[in-house]
Amino acid sequence: MYDILICVNMQAGDNKMIVEKILQKSGLKKTKGRVQILGLLVNANKPLSIEEIECLVGTDVHFVTLYRMLHQFAKSGIVYQTDLRKGKVHYELQKKHHHHIVCSICGVQEDVPMCMDALQASVASRSKKFNAIDNHVLEFFGVCKKCS
Amino acid sequence: MYDILICVNMQAGDNKMIVEKILQKSGLKKTKGRVQILGLLVNANKPLSIEEIECLVGTDVHFVTLYRMLHQFAKSGIVYQTDLRKGKVHYELQKKHHHHIVCSICGVQEDVPMCMDALQASVASRSKKFNAIDNHVLEFFGVCKKCS
DNA sequence: TTTAGTGCAAAATCTTTGCAGGGTA
DNA sequence: TACCCTGCAAAGATTTTGCACTAAA
Protein backbone atom coordinates (compact mmCIF):
# COMPACT_ATOMS: atom_id res chain seq x y z
CA MET A 1 0.00 0.00 0.00
CA TYR A 2 1.25 3.44 -0.84
CA ASP A 3 1.18 6.92 0.47
CA ILE A 4 -1.57 7.61 -1.95
CA LEU A 5 -3.90 6.41 0.78
CA ILE A 6 -3.25 9.39 2.96
CA CYS A 7 -3.37 11.87 0.14
CA VAL A 8 -7.03 11.67 -0.64
CA ASN A 9 -7.54 15.41 -0.44
CA MET A 10 -4.71 16.39 -2.70
CA GLN A 11 -4.94 18.52 -5.81
CA ALA A 12 -4.82 16.98 -9.25
CA GLY A 13 -1.38 18.39 -9.91
CA ASP A 14 0.00 16.46 -7.01
CA ASN A 15 -0.28 13.18 -8.88
CA LYS A 16 3.26 13.72 -10.00
CA MET A 17 4.34 13.59 -6.38
CA ILE A 18 2.42 10.40 -5.76
CA VAL A 19 4.05 8.74 -8.73
CA GLU A 20 7.49 9.77 -7.58
CA LYS A 21 6.88 8.38 -4.12
CA ILE A 22 5.68 5.08 -5.51
CA LEU A 23 8.77 4.71 -7.67
CA GLN A 24 11.06 5.77 -4.87
CA LYS A 25 9.54 3.29 -2.47
CA SER A 26 9.80 0.43 -4.93
CA GLY A 27 13.39 1.18 -5.86
CA LEU A 28 12.56 1.49 -9.54
CA LYS A 29 14.25 4.15 -11.57
CA LYS A 30 12.22 7.19 -12.43
CA THR A 31 11.87 7.28 -16.19
CA LYS A 32 9.65 9.36 -18.42
CA GLY A 33 7.61 6.32 -19.45
CA ARG A 34 7.02 5.03 -15.95
CA VAL A 35 5.94 8.41 -14.69
CA GLN A 36 3.51 8.69 -17.55
CA ILE A 37 1.97 5.24 -17.12
CA LEU A 38 1.70 5.48 -13.36
CA GLY A 39 0.18 8.91 -13.79
CA LEU A 40 -2.46 7.42 -16.01
CA LEU A 41 -3.25 4.71 -13.51
CA VAL A 42 -3.47 7.19 -10.66
CA ASN A 43 -5.90 9.31 -12.62
CA ALA A 44 -7.88 6.45 -14.10
CA ASN A 45 -9.19 5.21 -10.80
CA LYS A 46 -10.33 2.05 -12.50
CA PRO A 47 -8.67 -0.98 -14.05
CA LEU A 48 -7.19 -0.29 -17.48
CA SER A 49 -6.34 -2.83 -20.13
CA ILE A 50 -3.02 -2.70 -21.91
CA GLU A 51 -4.92 -1.66 -25.00
CA GLU A 52 -6.50 1.28 -23.20
CA ILE A 53 -3.21 2.39 -21.74
CA GLU A 54 -1.55 2.09 -25.12
CA CYS A 55 -4.27 4.25 -26.59
CA LEU A 56 -4.03 6.91 -23.90
CA VAL A 57 -0.28 7.13 -24.02
CA GLY A 58 0.01 7.29 -27.79
CA THR A 59 3.40 6.57 -29.29
CA ASP A 60 5.37 7.89 -26.35
CA VAL A 61 5.92 4.45 -24.88
CA HIS A 62 6.68 1.42 -26.99
CA PHE A 63 4.22 -1.41 -26.45
CA VAL A 64 7.01 -3.82 -25.56
CA THR A 65 8.10 -1.47 -22.83
CA LEU A 66 4.52 -1.23 -21.67
CA TYR A 67 4.29 -5.00 -21.25
CA ARG A 68 7.60 -5.06 -19.42
CA MET A 69 6.62 -2.18 -17.22
CA LEU A 70 3.31 -3.67 -16.18
CA HIS A 71 4.91 -7.00 -15.38
CA GLN A 72 7.46 -5.17 -13.32
CA PHE A 73 4.83 -3.09 -11.54
CA ALA A 74 2.75 -6.16 -10.76
CA LYS A 75 5.80 -7.97 -9.44
CA SER A 76 6.64 -5.01 -7.24
CA GLY A 77 3.08 -4.85 -5.96
CA ILE A 78 2.44 -1.44 -7.45
CA VAL A 79 -0.37 -2.54 -9.70
CA TYR A 80 -2.86 -5.29 -9.43
CA GLN A 81 -4.06 -7.60 -12.14
CA THR A 82 -7.81 -8.05 -12.51
CA ASP A 83 -10.01 -10.00 -14.84
CA LEU A 84 -13.24 -8.28 -15.74
CA ARG A 85 -14.45 -10.93 -18.13
CA LYS A 86 -13.63 -8.84 -21.14
CA GLY A 87 -11.13 -11.41 -22.30
CA LYS A 88 -8.23 -9.19 -21.43
CA VAL A 89 -6.30 -8.59 -18.26
CA HIS A 90 -6.69 -5.18 -16.67
CA TYR A 91 -4.24 -3.38 -14.43
CA GLU A 92 -5.13 -1.13 -11.56
CA LEU A 93 -3.12 0.80 -9.06
CA GLN A 94 -2.83 -1.16 -5.84
CA LYS A 95 -4.80 1.05 -3.52
CA LYS A 96 -6.85 -0.01 -0.58
CA HIS A 97 -8.26 -3.42 -1.35
CA HIS A 98 -11.68 -3.16 -2.95
CA HIS A 99 -13.90 -4.64 -5.63
CA HIS A 100 -15.93 -3.59 -8.65
CA ILE A 101 -19.33 -3.78 -10.21
CA VAL A 102 -19.09 -4.04 -13.96
CA CYS A 103 -21.90 -3.40 -16.42
CA SER A 104 -22.32 -6.41 -18.68
CA ILE A 105 -23.45 -4.18 -21.51
CA CYS A 106 -21.41 -0.98 -21.61
CA GLY A 107 -18.60 -2.03 -19.28
CA VAL A 108 -18.90 0.94 -16.97
CA GLN A 109 -17.41 0.25 -13.54
CA GLU A 110 -18.05 1.29 -10.00
CA ASP A 111 -15.91 0.65 -6.97
CA VAL A 112 -17.32 -1.39 -4.10
CA PRO A 113 -15.51 -0.25 -0.98
CA MET A 114 -16.59 -3.25 1.06
CA CYS A 115 -14.31 -6.23 1.48
CA MET A 116 -14.46 -9.83 2.54
CA ASP A 117 -11.32 -10.12 4.60
CA ALA A 118 -13.24 -11.47 7.54
CA LEU A 119 -14.70 -14.14 5.36
CA GLN A 120 -11.33 -15.51 4.38
CA ALA A 121 -10.65 -16.96 7.80
CA SER A 122 -13.99 -18.69 7.95
CA VAL A 123 -13.53 -20.15 4.49
CA ALA A 124 -10.04 -21.30 5.37
CA SER A 125 -11.25 -22.99 8.53
CA ARG A 126 -13.66 -25.08 6.51
CA SER A 127 -11.09 -26.01 3.90
CA LYS A 128 -9.46 -29.41 3.68
CA LYS A 129 -6.47 -28.53 1.58
CA PHE A 130 -5.67 -25.05 2.85
CA ASN A 131 -4.60 -23.71 6.23
CA ALA A 132 -4.92 -20.09 5.33
CA ILE A 133 -6.11 -17.83 2.56
CA ASP A 134 -4.18 -14.69 1.89
CA ASN A 135 -6.02 -13.07 -0.96
CA HIS A 136 -9.21 -13.09 -2.97
CA VAL A 137 -10.83 -11.72 -6.07
CA LEU A 138 -14.40 -10.53 -6.06
CA GLU A 139 -16.19 -8.82 -8.91
CA PHE A 140 -19.87 -8.15 -9.38
CA PHE A 141 -21.69 -8.01 -12.70
CA GLY A 142 -24.97 -6.38 -13.58
CA VAL A 143 -26.63 -3.92 -15.92
CA CYS A 144 -26.12 -0.27 -15.07
CA LYS A 145 -28.93 2.27 -14.78
CA LYS A 146 -28.16 3.86 -18.11
CA CYS A 147 -28.29 0.55 -19.96
CA SER A 148 -31.39 -0.82 -18.28
CA MET B 1 -28.50 -25.54 -14.30
CA TYR B 2 -28.57 -29.11 -15.40
CA ASP B 3 -29.82 -32.46 -14.28
CA ILE B 4 -26.34 -33.17 -13.13
CA LEU B 5 -27.38 -31.59 -9.87
CA ILE B 6 -29.70 -34.40 -8.98
CA CYS B 7 -27.34 -37.11 -10.09
CA VAL B 8 -24.76 -36.75 -7.40
CA ASN B 9 -24.84 -40.39 -6.43
CA MET B 10 -24.44 -41.78 -9.89
CA GLN B 11 -21.78 -44.17 -11.08
CA ALA B 12 -18.85 -43.00 -13.16
CA GLY B 13 -20.20 -44.69 -16.26
CA ASP B 14 -23.29 -42.56 -16.12
CA ASN B 15 -21.40 -39.49 -17.19
CA LYS B 16 -22.32 -40.36 -20.73
CA MET B 17 -25.93 -39.93 -19.81
CA ILE B 18 -25.32 -36.57 -18.20
CA VAL B 19 -23.55 -35.33 -21.29
CA GLU B 20 -26.37 -36.48 -23.53
CA LYS B 21 -28.92 -34.72 -21.38
CA ILE B 22 -26.95 -31.51 -21.42
CA LEU B 23 -26.70 -31.54 -25.19
CA GLN B 24 -30.33 -32.47 -25.59
CA LYS B 25 -31.46 -29.69 -23.31
CA SER B 26 -29.36 -27.08 -25.09
CA GLY B 27 -30.48 -28.14 -28.55
CA LEU B 28 -26.93 -28.74 -29.70
CA LYS B 29 -26.25 -31.71 -31.91
CA LYS B 30 -24.57 -34.67 -30.31
CA THR B 31 -21.20 -35.12 -31.95
CA LYS B 32 -18.24 -37.23 -30.97
CA GLY B 33 -16.16 -34.19 -30.08
CA ARG B 34 -18.77 -32.52 -27.92
CA VAL B 35 -19.44 -35.70 -26.00
CA GLN B 36 -15.74 -36.10 -25.37
CA ILE B 37 -15.15 -32.53 -24.20
CA LEU B 38 -18.22 -32.39 -22.00
CA GLY B 39 -17.25 -35.75 -20.57
CA LEU B 40 -13.89 -34.31 -19.63
CA LEU B 41 -15.47 -31.33 -17.96
CA VAL B 42 -17.92 -33.50 -16.04
CA ASN B 43 -15.09 -35.66 -14.77
CA ALA B 44 -12.67 -32.83 -14.14
CA ASN B 45 -14.73 -31.21 -11.45
CA LYS B 46 -12.52 -28.16 -11.68
CA PRO B 47 -11.92 -25.41 -14.20
CA LEU B 48 -9.79 -26.51 -17.14
CA SER B 49 -7.85 -24.29 -19.49
CA ILE B 50 -8.07 -24.78 -23.22
CA GLU B 51 -4.52 -26.01 -23.09
CA GLU B 52 -5.36 -28.66 -20.52
CA ILE B 53 -8.38 -29.82 -22.46
CA GLU B 54 -6.34 -29.94 -25.63
CA CYS B 55 -3.78 -32.06 -23.85
CA LEU B 56 -6.34 -34.49 -22.39
CA VAL B 57 -8.18 -34.93 -25.63
CA GLY B 58 -5.14 -35.45 -27.78
CA THR B 59 -5.59 -35.08 -31.52
CA ASP B 60 -9.17 -36.26 -31.56
CA VAL B 61 -10.54 -32.73 -31.61
CA HIS B 62 -8.99 -29.96 -33.66
CA PHE B 63 -8.05 -26.94 -31.59
CA VAL B 64 -10.16 -24.64 -33.75
CA THR B 65 -13.16 -26.80 -33.04
CA LEU B 66 -12.29 -26.67 -29.37
CA TYR B 67 -12.35 -22.89 -29.34
CA ARG B 68 -15.62 -22.86 -31.21
CA MET B 69 -17.13 -25.46 -28.95
CA LEU B 70 -16.22 -23.69 -25.76
CA HIS B 71 -17.59 -20.39 -27.04
CA GLN B 72 -20.76 -22.18 -27.97
CA PHE B 73 -20.99 -23.91 -24.61
CA ALA B 74 -20.43 -20.67 -22.76
CA LYS B 75 -23.07 -18.94 -24.86
CA SER B 76 -25.52 -21.72 -24.12
CA GLY B 77 -24.77 -21.53 -20.43
CA ILE B 78 -23.31 -25.02 -20.29
CA VAL B 79 -19.88 -23.95 -19.18
CA TYR B 80 -18.66 -21.02 -17.21
CA GLN B 81 -15.61 -18.92 -17.84
CA THR B 82 -13.32 -18.29 -14.88
CA ASP B 83 -10.10 -16.44 -14.41
CA LEU B 84 -7.72 -18.04 -11.96
CA ARG B 85 -4.89 -15.59 -12.45
CA LYS B 86 -2.88 -18.02 -14.47
CA GLY B 87 -3.04 -15.74 -17.46
CA LYS B 88 -5.43 -18.01 -19.26
CA VAL B 89 -9.16 -18.42 -19.19
CA HIS B 90 -10.50 -21.61 -17.66
CA TYR B 91 -13.78 -23.32 -18.41
CA GLU B 92 -15.88 -25.22 -15.95
CA LEU B 93 -19.17 -27.04 -16.17
CA GLN B 94 -21.95 -24.77 -14.96
CA LYS B 95 -23.02 -26.60 -11.84
CA LYS B 96 -24.41 -25.11 -8.70
CA HIS B 97 -22.84 -21.72 -8.26
CA HIS B 98 -19.74 -21.95 -6.14
CA HIS B 99 -16.21 -20.62 -5.79
CA HIS B 100 -12.64 -21.86 -5.51
CA ILE B 101 -9.54 -21.63 -3.42
CA VAL B 102 -6.46 -21.79 -5.61
CA CYS B 103 -2.94 -22.53 -4.42
CA SER B 104 -0.61 -19.76 -5.54
CA ILE B 105 2.25 -22.22 -5.78
CA CYS B 106 1.08 -25.54 -7.22
CA GLY B 107 -2.29 -24.40 -8.54
CA VAL B 108 -4.30 -27.07 -6.75
CA GLN B 109 -7.94 -26.11 -6.35
CA GLU B 110 -10.69 -26.73 -3.86
CA ASP B 111 -14.35 -25.89 -4.19
CA VAL B 112 -15.92 -23.47 -1.75
CA PRO B 113 -19.60 -24.37 -1.60
CA MET B 114 -20.61 -21.13 0.08
CA CYS B 115 -21.99 -18.27 -1.96
CA MET B 116 -22.62 -14.57 -1.65
CA ASP B 117 -25.96 -14.23 -3.34
CA ALA B 118 -27.40 -12.44 -0.36
CA LEU B 119 -24.59 -9.97 -0.50
CA GLN B 120 -25.43 -8.90 -4.03
CA ALA B 121 -28.60 -7.13 -3.01
CA SER B 122 -26.88 -5.21 -0.27
CA VAL B 123 -24.08 -4.16 -2.59
CA ALA B 124 -26.57 -3.12 -5.23
CA SER B 125 -28.52 -1.04 -2.78
CA ARG B 126 -25.43 0.99 -1.97
CA SER B 127 -24.48 1.45 -5.59
CA LYS B 128 -24.95 4.72 -7.46
CA LYS B 129 -24.76 3.42 -11.00
CA PHE B 130 -26.48 0.05 -10.65
CA ASN B 131 -29.99 -0.97 -9.68
CA ALA B 132 -29.28 -4.66 -9.48
CA ILE B 133 -26.44 -7.11 -9.64
CA ASP B 134 -27.07 -10.43 -11.28
CA ASN B 135 -23.78 -12.23 -10.99
CA HIS B 136 -20.41 -12.24 -9.33
CA VAL B 137 -17.02 -13.83 -9.39
CA LEU B 138 -15.22 -14.77 -6.20
CA GLU B 139 -11.97 -16.68 -5.98
CA PHE B 140 -9.68 -17.18 -3.02
CA PHE B 141 -5.93 -17.55 -3.17
CA GLY B 142 -3.58 -19.08 -0.64
CA VAL B 143 -0.87 -21.67 -0.16
CA CYS B 144 -2.10 -25.23 0.24
CA LYS B 145 -1.03 -27.56 3.06
CA LYS B 146 1.32 -29.55 0.84
CA CYS B 147 3.16 -26.46 -0.34
CA SER B 148 3.44 -24.74 3.01
C1' DT C 1 30.66 4.42 -14.75
C1' DT C 2 27.52 0.92 -13.94
C1' DT C 3 23.32 -1.10 -14.36
C1' DA C 4 18.59 -0.79 -15.27
C1' DG C 5 15.46 0.55 -18.81
C1' DT C 6 14.10 1.17 -23.70
C1' DG C 7 13.22 0.50 -28.70
C1' DC C 8 13.22 -2.34 -32.62
C1' DA C 9 12.83 -6.58 -35.08
C1' DA C 10 11.35 -10.88 -34.99
C1' DA C 11 9.69 -15.03 -32.88
C1' DA C 12 6.36 -17.43 -30.26
C1' DT C 13 1.62 -17.83 -28.58
C1' DC C 14 -2.96 -17.62 -28.65
C1' DT C 15 -7.42 -16.84 -31.04
C1' DT C 16 -10.43 -16.06 -34.94
C1' DT C 17 -12.18 -16.43 -39.79
C1' DG C 18 -13.38 -18.37 -44.44
C1' DC C 19 -14.43 -22.08 -46.89
C1' DA C 20 -15.21 -26.71 -48.34
C1' DG C 21 -16.35 -31.32 -46.96
C1' DG C 22 -18.78 -34.50 -43.52
C1' DG C 23 -22.19 -35.96 -40.06
C1' DT C 24 -26.54 -35.41 -37.40
C1' DA C 25 -31.43 -34.91 -36.99
C1' DT D 1 -32.11 -33.40 -47.45
C1' DA D 2 -31.02 -29.35 -44.87
C1' DC D 3 -28.31 -27.42 -41.85
C1' DC D 4 -25.08 -27.66 -38.23
C1' DC D 5 -20.41 -29.07 -37.16
C1' DT D 6 -15.64 -29.93 -38.18
C1' DG D 7 -10.98 -29.67 -40.17
C1' DC D 8 -7.60 -27.23 -42.57
C1' DA D 9 -5.17 -23.21 -43.95
C1' DA D 10 -4.23 -18.86 -43.11
C1' DA D 11 -4.84 -14.46 -41.09
C1' DG D 12 -5.08 -11.62 -36.91
C1' DA D 13 -4.13 -10.46 -32.34
C1' DT D 14 -1.47 -10.69 -28.29
C1' DT D 15 2.69 -11.45 -25.70
C1' DT D 16 7.61 -12.55 -25.24
C1' DT D 17 12.65 -12.57 -26.38
C1' DG D 18 17.32 -11.09 -27.95
C1' DC D 19 20.25 -7.57 -28.70
C1' DA D 20 22.18 -3.14 -29.07
C1' DC D 21 21.63 1.51 -27.55
C1' DT D 22 20.29 5.11 -24.01
C1' DA D 23 19.65 7.17 -19.74
C1' DA D 24 19.18 7.25 -14.58
C1' DA D 25 21.69 7.04 -10.25
Residue by residue, what is the 3-state secondary structure of chain A? CCHHHHCCCCCHHHHHHHHHHHHHHHCCCCCHHHHHHHHHHHHHCCCEEHHHHHHHHCCCCCHHHHHHHHHHHHHCCCEEEEECCCCCEEEEECCCCCEEEEECCCCCEEEECCCCHHHHHHHHHCCCCEEEEEEEEEEEEEEECCCC
Q: What is the DSSP letter of B148?
A: -
List the A67 CA – D17 C1' distance (angstroms): 12
pLDDT in tens, B77-127: 899 887 655 567 788 887 767 788 888 778 788 888 776 767 788 888 889
- Residue B138 forms contact with A (CB below 8 Å): yes
pLDDT in tens, A102-128: 887 787 888 887 767 777 888 888 899
- Residue B125 forms contact with A (CB below 8 Å): no
A64: CB within 7 A of chain D nucleic strand: yes
Using an 8 Å Cβ cutoff, are A40 and A53 in contact? yes
List the B125 CA – D16 C1' distance (angstroms): 44
What local confidence, expressed as pLDDT, does residue A30 receive?
96
Query: In this complex, how many residue pairs, one in chain A and one in chain B, have their CB atoms less than 8 Å apart?
Result: 120
Q: How far is CA A72 from CA A69, A75, B17, B30, B144, in A?
A: 5, 5, 49, 47, 26
Cα A28 to chain centroid distance, Å, stands at 18
pTM for this model (two decimals): 0.71
A133: CB within 7 A of chain D nucleic strand: no
pLDDT at A1 over 80: no
pLDDT in tens, A63-95: 999 999 999 999 998 998 876 555 677 888 877
Helices (DSSP H) in chain B: which residue ranges?
15-26, 32-44, 50-57, 63-75, 117-125
List the A68 CA – D9 C1' distance (angstroms): 33
Q: Looking at strand D, which nucleotides approach a protein CB closer than 7 A?
A: 4-10, 14-18, 23-25
Q: Cβ contact (<8 Å) for B134 and A120?
A: no
pLDDT in tens, B20-71: 889 998 999 999 999 999 999 988 878 898 999 999 988 899 999 999 999 9
